[in-house]
Chains A and B, each alone.
Chain A
Amino acid sequence: MTSSPEPGARVALVTGGTRGIGKAIAQRLRADGLTVATLGRSGGDVQADVTDADSVQAAFEQVRERFGPVLILINNAGITADGLAIRMPDEDWDTVLDTNLTGAFHCTKRALEDMLAARWGRIVNISSVVAQRANPGQANYVAAKAGLLGYTRVVAREMGKRDITVNAVTPGVIETDMTADMPRELVKAIPAARVGRPDEVAAAVSFLVSDDAAYINGATLAVDGGLGA
């Protein structure tokens, strides 16, 4: 059995790590003693457009140079472009799928090179409670987030014997810019009777990348106050 790398030697890359849930995840993993790099479209430690494979490749090279090989990847970058499916512009479908699903594919592919070499790795894909339910007006977002859950399970199986785990977290309604315009009465549907905080999602991610979660692979962990139950 290979020994897992020391926490300080574990470089975690958080995509979309400059705000919202991603920012909270980056802060939490830093507090856990990990070396954290954030990837953003314009901010963060490294910049990349996750929809563009070459841009992702360049960002990973920068992270390796400045921080080290990526042994923990949090695929968190995500956008919304809501509208009823019948009227959804093709462009809105493509952009959301490209960012939320294909972006995770591009980043995972590069990170797996480092993880395979290290014989250790942790990937957490940030999906959504809507991936397992439905949310009218979010056909693109739901398709992408549900796709991410399938992708999570496949890569988990493919990489399982190399001490690389791939899990997903499905946040419910979390207090971020993305949910700022959400009607407040929707809170009534949440069993916890409140929206969640980004640090509550970050706590689940912190667990999934820890040594305690070594035997958890291909799982989906809901952090939604019971909304998806």
Chain B
Amino acid sequence: MATQQEILEAIRAELTAIKVPDADTAQPETTWEELDVDSLDLVELVKALEDRFDVQIADPDLKGIASVGDAIALVERLQGATA
């Protein structure tokens, strides 16, 4: 099971890779809107998180995921479900 910090680091790394400005300073409370993360960025982030943490993220899971913290909680929940 990855820690919240590890998931946060992974999200920062992927957002940096897809050239989201200020990705390296993103905090759990930072929203996609503040980061200017669009739907294509999210598709790539989801793929990266799936590969890195060995989880499957379905489209319905993404409903209401509006911030870095929401994404961390989602990965934690899915990891718990498969553990």
Contact = CB atoms under 8 A, between A and B. Distances in A.
5 contacts: A116-B44, A158-B40, A159-B40, A161-B40, A162-B40
A80 to B, nearest CB: 35
Interface size class of A (residues with CB under 8 A): under 10
A116 B44 CA distance: 8
Contacts of B44: 116
Interface in B24-38: none
A161 B44 CA distance: 13
A112 to B, nearest CB: 10
Interface in A62-84: none
A116 to B, nearest CB: 6
Interface in A147-180: 158-159, 161-162
Contacts of A159: 40
A159 B43 CA distance: 12
Contacts of B40: 158-159, 161-162
Contacts of A162: 40
Interface in A112-159: 116, 158-159
Nearest to B43: A116
A24 B44 CA distance: 35
A161 B40 CA distance: 10
Contacts of A158: 40
